[in-house]
Structure 1
């Protein structure tokens, strides 16, 4: 294809490999990629006003489809703006193809104002990085980027704190000098198809079966694909047959939940609470999960909360073997005639009175529609109540804050809604972290996405206040750094200003009425839920 530009070959290769959405915040170096979208209409371009929205949206899209979306980012500063949500995507093992434009090869040595070390930045969050060297190779480079995104970054040894947790993919970054995009001579590459993970070792699965049959207390810790409906059914059969306890990651990349699905207790957030959960466990079996570690170090406290006399086993340890298949094999070995225990349809009753940390989640659980996608960045407002309030709600998928880098909720909801246009998306969003990526609301309105956002407004960075108290440093002066009043944030005005209809609720009754109305109307809506400072 003698007259094909490098950018056209790149975009054509992506869409032929089923990368059909590009979340973009482009600049001058990416203009030929943008122009190529006109000649390859199968690629949907979604404009995001901030790169962290683009990367978070690609994360939400990949979690729901298992296929990568592309991002289009401008030079090193654009990539840097998107790194926080690429960190979350990396921790979720979400497949993403980042396309980062760079200066033309001849311009780069001049050290112009936006020159930076893109390769180094990309390496912090990517499992694969390549800088394209020729126009002719751009198609092949794009194909390799897709193949890399569809391949898990791989499990580290269990004792090293493996981060392999999500949809069996990884972040790949392709750096494209501008002159390679505009030059003629590009050649699209053959499409890339995803490959199944390797089968687990039958011998190793039998070893795990012997552990479960030993009569000693066992815990199965589930994450990644083990939290799909199929994985949960297999784990529940094992639980019934052996008496082993089931635990799940506290903020999973994607978890199937609700009526008709086995319910699993989440791992606690605090290290000392995890130790209590595992205190009687003689064996901890990791099913797509990592060894529990605390999110932070604290003076005089351990960072490894698993009791020292607990033996740790990895269910599928053979080079990233298929955890889901391993669970099925294990269940068929030790529970061949056992049925799973399924959660009943029994949503909570609607609460009454002022909104508090204790009752807002019951409103969501009582009114949650079937097959919703729930994006959870409620953080402190939801830690104690959201799991129980939605455990017996209609079946749904839950997307969590995998890497604890806040500002994920609104962007991730963007990508989930584009991935699943026939499903309602509910974004449960803490107020402080909402401000990191609030411009995602503009994309909700522009794309007319069916997203209902509930902002949980407690006027503080409550989780940081709690951390300050844990290190014994609370004082009036330091507490001001976590106070979001003076002035109060007005999310109704902010949302309306970006084209999203918004209301405010101060009681459980108001939240219920507004939530029902938002769910019944197409397009985006926002509800600012004012949580009482006096209620827990």
Structure 2
């Protein structure tokens, strides 16, 4: 046995059961260890951004980390964008990065780089194995650090000679992992007093507060206090569908968000922070909290916010529950109407199975789908927390492996999908139950919108070319089929409805190109 086997066995003992890999020469002993040791599934990804995005999606749905296996500094560099999304989602990820053998690094070979420096911006912890004897202990520390208590990316750098060493460090059995921090009684009592004194309070939710148990507690708090319920615009995971309370999703547009929060005299924050604009705009405020309103934080991402909200609801006392939406009848589809995101949302509410998972990387189109699914089948909606596009198809890979009995959807803009379309190959190889909906508007539509918002004027020919994807248009049916995934194109509401019904029935990976 070589040291890498001890590392894999130790990770398995800590509950790490999946590895998303894009290895190179420095990682070959880890590859061999994953082959020899039973208990960890290895999933090959053709691009590191797919591996890191899949680890993010897995963590959000499984509530525990998968690991990655990436090749030196350039490999982890390729995966940084989706590690950024994972960091912003407070998703636990164990990011294993191979490095040159310790003595070889001094030779400054072509792939030599500052691996720790590349990992650091997206990691809450970076550790480097210095000798083979540290392999198991640092593997445990990486898992512990991914759990936080503020969960996130823990990067472990593994030099090749520490992996190939025939020294056999002890395999470490299961250890206790850090729990979320309890919220103090004083903080809960302060929230009771503030809600009792407020005339127009808002309970502002994010992260774990938007899971089903958190929303149930939020409904009880709202019923007892009269608070309005809002949530972050981009939440890691939202429990939605009939029978579940649906907070108002704060508008992405700053002027609209300010209007939505206007008049509140208390912003009680649960699981997140006070809302701010995604970007700065000339003459607009970056902070959305109304002037004069009290801001009080019940707890943040590192805190046991669900426990705190349940305790707060108990102290406020019983009240009539806030009504949750019943399963609604969807509006009639006019089959010959040109397709738009609203029709996609209606069809999804008609056909998606109960307890589906939706990975949203569709920016403008996703916002159009979202309202139509709120009273549809129960589902979990994963948002683009960090704004780094190219997350949807990889996230869907991880979600499907975490929840193999659930239907998974990836909602992708065509520009976003082009970042990580290699995920389709992994979906086909693993025969994952994923329906990828690619909104083909043949432009970076959100940037056309943003160009006007920032006051940069009307786009001229050069600017239009930088925002357009229609010269040439991408043929998503051929691209999908080239990666082994069946695909069809829909241009009308009726064509999309029929395509979605057929895709759900067929199972396995599918692509529907929504021409809008």
User: Using a 3 Å threshold, how does the CA distance of structure 1 residues 337 and 276 change in structure 2: closer, same or farther?
Assistant: closer
- 1:347 Cα deviation from its structure 2 partner: 4.4
Equivalent residue number for residue 158 of structure 2? 176
Answer yes or no: is the 8 Å Cα contact 1:100–1:173 preserved in 2: yes
**What is the alpha-carbon distance in structure 2 between the residues aligned to residue 347 and residue 370 of structure 1?**
15
Specify the SS of the correspondent of 1:110. coil
| Residue 315 of structure 2 corresponds to residue 344 of structure 1 | no
- 1:490 Cα deviation from its structure 2 partner: 0.6
- 1:506 Cα deviation from its structure 2 partner: 0.6
| Residue 122 of structure 2 corresponds to residue 125 of structure 1 | yes
Q: Which of 488, 499, 514 matches 1:514? A: 499
- 1:340 Cα deviation from its structure 2 partner: 4.0
Map 1:440-479 to 2 at 5 A: 440-473=423-456, 474-477=458-461, 478-479=463-464
- 1:177 Cα deviation from its structure 2 partner: 0.6
Answer yes or no: is the 8 Å Cα contact 1:347–1:390 preserved in 2: no
Equivalent residue number for residue 362 of structure 1? 346
- 1:472 Cα deviation from its structure 2 partner: 2.8
Answer yes or no: is the 8 Å Cα contact 2:271–2:303 preserved in 1: no
**What is the alpha-carbon distance in structure 2 between the residues aligned to residue 304 and residue 197 of structure 1?**
28
Equivalent residue number for residue 19 of structure 1? 16
Deviations 1:414-433 (A, max 9, x none): 00000000000011111100
Map 1:37-186 to 2 at 5 A: 37-153=34-150, 169-186=151-168
**What is the alpha-carbon distance in structure 2 between the residues aligned to residue 393 and residue 463 of structure 1?**
27
Answer yes or no: is the 8 Å Cα contact 1:259–1:395 preserved in 2: yes
Answer yes or no: is the 8 Å Cα contact 1:445–1:500 preserved in 2: yes
Answer yes or no: is the 8 Å Cα contact 1:137–1:186 preserved in 2: no
| Residue 400 of structure 2 corresponds to residue 417 of structure 1 | yes
Answer yes or no: is the 8 Å Cα contact 2:354–2:379 preserved in 1: yes
- 1:215 Cα deviation from its structure 2 partner: 4.0
- 1:300 Cα deviation from its structure 2 partner: 2.0
Equivalent residue number for residue 26 of structure 2? 29
Answer yes or no: is the 8 Å Cα contact 1:378–1:430 preserved in 2: yes
Deviations 1:444-484 (A, max 9, x none): 00000000111111111001111111123222221221111
Map 1:227-238 to 2 at 5 A: 227-238=210-221
Q: Which of 350, 355, 377 matches 1:371? A: 355
**What is the alpha-carbon distance in structure 1 between the residues aligned to residue 12 and residue 496 of structure 2?**
42
Deviations 1:364-400 (A, max 9, x none): 22222100001111211122x3232011001111101
Equivalent residue number for residue 297 of structure 1? 280
Specify the SS of the correspondent of 1:481. helix
- 1:242 Cα deviation from its structure 2 partner: 1.7
Specify the SS of the correspondent of 1:115. coil
- 1:204 Cα deviation from its structure 2 partner: 1.7
- 1:191 Cα deviation from its structure 2 partner: 2.1
Deviations 1:483-506 (A, max 9, x none): 110111110000000000000001
**What is the alpha-carbon distance in structure 2 between the residues aligned to residue 359 and residue 427 of structure 1?**
16
Specify the SS of the correspondent of 1:263. coil
Map 1:194-213 to 2 at 5 A: 194-213=177-196
- 1:341 Cα deviation from its structure 2 partner: 2.1
Deviations 1:19-68 (A, max 9, x none): 01000000000000000012212110000000000000000000001110
**What is the alpha-carbon distance in structure 2 between the residues aligned to residue 257 and residue 251 of structure 1?**
14
- 1:412 Cα deviation from its structure 2 partner: 0.1
Equivalent residue number for residue 159 of structure 1? none
Answer yes or no: is the 8 Å Cα contact 2:342–2:372 preserved in 1: no
Map 1:230-309 to 2 at 5 A: 230-309=213-292
Q: Which of 495, 501, 505 matches 2:486? A: 501
Equivalent residue number for residue 534 of structure 1? none
Map 1:521-536 to 2 at 5 A: 521-531=506-516
Equivalent residue number for residue 161 of structure 1? none
Answer yes or no: is the 8 Å Cα contact 2:76–2:97 preserved in 1: yes
Equivalent residue number for residue 365 of structure 2? 381
Answer yes or no: is the 8 Å Cα contact 2:342–2:369 preserved in 1: no
Answer yes or no: is the 8 Å Cα contact 1:25–1:74 preserved in 2: yes
Moved more, 235-244 or 69-78: 235-244
Answer yes or no: is the 8 Å Cα contact 2:101–2:162 preserved in 1: yes
| Residue 298 of structure 2 corresponds to residue 315 of structure 1 | yes
Moved more, 323-332 or 190-199: 190-199
**What is the alpha-carbon distance in structure 1 between the residues aligned to residue 416 and residue 256 of structure 2?**
25
- 1:279 Cα deviation from its structure 2 partner: 1.0
Unmatched runs of 5 consecutive residues or more in structure 2: none
**What is the alpha-carbon distance in structure 2 between the residues aligned to residue 293 and residue 262 of structure 1?**
24
**What is the alpha-carbon distance in structure 2 between the residues aligned to residue 328 and residue 35 of structure 1?**
47
- 1:527 Cα deviation from its structure 2 partner: 0.3
Matched residue pairs, number?
A: 511
**What is the alpha-carbon distance in structure 1 between the residues aligned to residue 459 and residue 35 of structure 2?**
57
